[in-house]
Amino acid sequence: MTTNNTKKNSQSDDTEPLAELYRIREERAKEFNYDLKAMFEDLKDFEKKMKIKTITLPPKRNLKKTGS
C-alpha cells in the first residue's frame, strides 16, 4: 500500500511547518506574558523602526443577496 505511506508522509510534511509556527507563536506570547496589547504595540514599534509601509483598506460592504 504505497499510497497510504505517501499520503502519511505528505501529511507529516504539511504539519511540520505548522508545528514550528505554533512553537514560535507560543514563545512570542510567553515573552509578552500573553498580553495581546503589548504584542501589538511591539509590532507597531517594529513596523516604525523598519519603515514598513502599511495600508488601510475601506470596510467591506454587505451585499444583499438577490433572489433567484
Query: What pLDDT, in 10s, does the model give residues 27-61?
Result: 999 999 999 999 999 999 998 999 888 888 898 88
Every domain of the chain and the residues it spans: 15-50
More confident residue, 54 or 63: 54
Helix %, strand %, coil % for the chain, to 5?
A: 65, 0, 35
Residue 50 has a pLDDT of 92
Is the confidence at residue 12, as pLDDT, over 80? no
The pTM is what?
0.53
Average pLDDT (10-36) is 90
The 3-state DSSP class for residue 33 equals coil
pLDDT of 9 > 60? The answer is no
Which residues contact residue 46 at a Cβ distance below 8 angstroms, ignoring those fewer than 6 apart?
Answer: 52
